[in-house]
Chains A and B, each alone.
Chain A
Amino acid sequence: MDGFCYRYDGTFAGFLCCARDIYQYKEPANLFLPQDDPRPSLYGERWVETDEDLARRVYRRLTRRLGQGGMDLVTQGFLTCLDHRERRLLAVIDLGLRTGPGVERRLGDEQVLQVSKAVRNLQREADHLFGFVRFADCGGVLVGSVAPKNQVLPLLRVHFCDRLANERFALYDRTHCQLLLHQPGPENGGKGRWVILEARDFTVPPPGAEERAYQDLWRRFYDTLAIPDRYNPRCRQSHMPKRFWGDMTEFQHPASGGEGSAGRGPTGPGGLARREPPSP
């Protein structure tokens, strides 16, 4: 067996260091595992330490060879939840090194096609979350939590650091245990400072009185907006998949009976008095 199992720290810089080793020592990779993964593998093991400086040089060099478009495909491809993404990305890099810039347009190649599809999926998930993320004001800091399939935090970071430039906020990715923190300031052209950290067991604190009031207002607004005569749950669900609902304020009805005491008709979870659509 001539392939190896590469163990690295799971960061993009670490992956670039692996790529460099694979080419340097001509030791192809069969498998990539995180360093703390206890599973043994049947392949010979290679332990790669991340060297930020080396990674930066590899990145620059690859950008020259693959073009910016090709390198963007690799960078974003690394954020997707595609299985065996490292091996597929290596195949893309390999093809790019042989054929030059424009590799991202070679959709005839199976690996390029798969990675492009995964990247499109990543971007769609990020587009969804631009709208579906909900923040709660916890003592002046906005806190939100999401559970995406892909590592969308770097994409969300660009959007929210622009939009909420003058707010302190924290956004937690429960799937990948990453936390984005932002603080306003004169840095980055007035957009403030940000950082993405590893964090375990982060929870959103319970809302205070004012926060609860705004959440109630929003829930009421959402429930009021639906038109019973047009009830169409399938349409809603195809626009807004159910996996996002758990984190959205309008679907989190407080268990107590104290919710909205203004005596409106019974509304089910999901905002509309349940009634059958008019039969044709």
Chain B
Amino acid sequence: MGLELMEKLTILADAAKYDVACTSSGVNRRHRAGKVGSAVSYGCCHTFTADGRCVSLLKVLLSNACAYDCAYCVNRRSNDVPRASFTPRELCELTMNFYRRNYIEGLFLSSAVLGSPDRTMELMIQTLRLLREEYRFNGYIHAKAIPGADPALVHAMGLLADRMSVNIELPSERSLNLLCPEKGRRPILGNMAQIRDGIAENRRDLALYRHTPRFAPAGQSTQMIVGATPESDLHILRLTQGLYRRYGLKRVFFSAYLPVVSGPNLPVPQTFQPPLLREHRLYQADWLLRFYHFDAEELLDEASPNFDPLLDPKCCWALSHPEFFPVEVDRADLETLLRVPGVGPTSARRILMARRYGALDFSQLKKLGVVLKRAQYFLLCGGKRPPGLKVKWESLGPRLAALEAGERRVPMDQLSLFAGEGA
């Protein structure tokens, strides 16, 4: 090994770190005789980086010598960075040795485009095959399909990996054409559709033949860059919803644009702040789509196509629907409870379970673990508001915004006795 491997790991991990997804969830696999490792469906975080992101997989590129010239990417052809490539065996050794020391849950393999998409895919498949067949690796593998690769190669990769992903990169076709002219919208969506159909077909086959090899059992995901191009939040959220519904994705990841390179079509790096709050809001909305039965159009509309920086999307929705509240804890159904700010799927289910044994009051809600910080303004227990709480609907907005600011530790303006005068 020696220094050379250390250099390669540094270059190729550094090149892969802007990929967002590092989840190891979605597949359960116990130990099997003669194989190494297992996978657990709830995923497992092995450490967290200094920016608070979970590390569960060895996330590296096979190579960063890219043939493409995508404007935003560190690895673009015209960027002057050191280039390196792993040999399949080096990468397998590294994965196995990290795995048995419990550093990682598996491998996240991506690559720059080496020559052509097909050639890159062939090299990646060769690596994964070595890992699965010679090293008998039974842990988690997340593999990135290269857009525009041959369907046969995508299929071969899906049989080796647990999760597949194809990056949609940017929220609209126009932006894609502007910033990465070599990648087209059509091949990206084509690959996604192929993986979706492969998973569906595999599910049918599994029902008939128990030993059918599994195709991408942990599903597929994608990611896009937010803030490099002028799309609105509404546009991004609609796209996300479409991806979940039409392509059956497990996750859509957002990545706040960071000016790592400069280019004529990109925001000017000197004055640019990465839109981290916007990314946070998009994830909040993404959760509302997936677990709270919201529609993109309910959260945003053409009149206000972007999220409120002061308030989370669920509170915003609640404040603009006064007719929906207050909600009666003893009678509301699951869907209704999920719409209450501060009540999540766990709390809602606990309420449903507990109220079968008797009427609930606010102190009992607290005991159940329902956090009332926000919910108290929107709930009724036995027709009553929480004791001692007197807040007008109109003053709720600033109050909730102050709560959120306190959680994010945003410095607040000092309270003024003569509010509104300075404005």
Chain A positions within 8 Å of B, measured between CB atoms, are 107-108, 113, 127, 130-137, 142, 144, 160, 162-167, 190-191, 213-214, 216-218, 220-222, 224-227, 229-236, 238-240, 248-250, 260-262, 264, 270-272, 278, 280
Contact = CB atoms under 8 A, between A and B. Distances in A.
Given A131-B56, A239-B54, A272-B51, 7 more contacts: A133-B102, A135-B100, A218-B98, A221-B58, A230-B51, A236-B51, A262-B3
Contact of B46 (A132, A234, A272): A132
A250 B101 contact: no
A111 to B, nearest CB: 14
Given A130-B44, A162-B30, A221-B13, A226 B50 contact: yes
B368 A163 contact: no
Interface of B: 1-3, 5-7, 9-10, 13-14, 17-18, 30-31, 33, 36-38, 40, 44-56, 58-59, 94, 97-98, 100-103, 105, 256, 258, 273-274, 276, 354, 357, 367-368
21 contacts: A107-B368, A135-B101, A137-B101, A163-B37, A191-B31, A218-B98, A220-B10, A221-B9, A221-B13, A221-B58, A222-B49, A224-B10, A225-B53, A230-B51, A231-B50, A234-B52, A249-B101, A249-B103, A262-B10, A264-B10, A270-B50
Contacts of A191: 31
B50 A214 contact: no
B48 A239 contact: yes
Contacts of A238: 52
Given A213-B1, A217-B94, A240 B258 contact: no
Nearest to B51: A230
B47 A132 contact: yes
Given A167-B100, A213-B1, A261-B3, A113 B47 contact: no
Contact of B31 (A190, A222, A249, A270): A190
A136 B49 contact: no
A232 B258 contact: no
Contact of A220 (B9, B55, B102): B9
Contacts of B7: 262
B49 A271 contact: yes
A213 B98 CA distance: 11
A188 B90 CA distance: 34
Contacts, number: 143
Contacts of A227: 17-18, 49, 51, 258
Nearest to A105: B353
Nearest to B58: A221
Contacts of B49: 222, 225-227, 236, 271-272
A41 B249 CA distance: 63
A248 B47 contact: yes
B31 A271 contact: no
Given A224-B13, A224-B14, A165 B274 contact: no
B100 A142 contact: yes
A214 B97 contact: yes
Nearest to B7: A262
Contacts of B38: 162-163
Contact of B100 (A131, A137, A231, A262): A137
Contacts of B2: 213
B48 to A, nearest CB: 5
Given A166-B36, A225-B49, A134 B103 contact: yes
A220 B56 contact: no
Contacts of B368: 107
B273 A280 contact: yes
Nearest to A211: B101
Contact of A217 (B5, B44, B276): B5
Nearest to B14: A224
Contact of A236 (B50, B103, B105, B367): B50
A69 B22 CA distance: 35
B6 A262 contact: yes
B6 A229 contact: no
Contacts of A190: 31, 33
Contacts of B274: 229-230, 278
Nearest to B353: A105
Contacts of B46: 131-132
A85 to B, nearest CB: 21
A250 B7 CA distance: 18
A180 to B, nearest CB: 14
Contacts of B103: 134, 218, 249
A271 B51 CA distance: 10
B48 A240 contact: yes
B54 A222 contact: no
Contacts of A225: 13, 17, 49, 53, 55, 59
Contacts of B354: 107
Q: Which of A214, A225, A232 has the most CB of B within 10 A?
A: A225
B55 A231 contact: no
Contacts of B1: 213, 217
A273 B129 CA distance: 37
A217 B31 CA distance: 27
A234 B100 CA distance: 30
B51 A226 contact: yes
A249 B47 CA distance: 10
CB-based closest 9 A-B pairs: A235-B52, A272-B50, A230-B51, A226-B50, A226-B49, A131-B46, A232-B52, A165-B31, A224-B13
Contact of B367 (A113, A135, A278): A113
B96 to A, nearest CB: 11
Contacts of B51: 226-227, 230-232, 235-236, 272
Given A135-B102, A236-B50, A248-B47, A260 B6 contact: yes
B182 to A, nearest CB: 25
Nearest to B38: A163
Nearest to A191: B31
Nearest to B34: A166
A196 to B, nearest CB: 18
Given A131-B56, A231-B50, A249-B103, A239 B45 contact: yes
B107 to A, nearest CB: 12
Contacts of B105: 131
Contacts of B17: 224-227
Contacts of B6: 216-217, 220, 260, 262
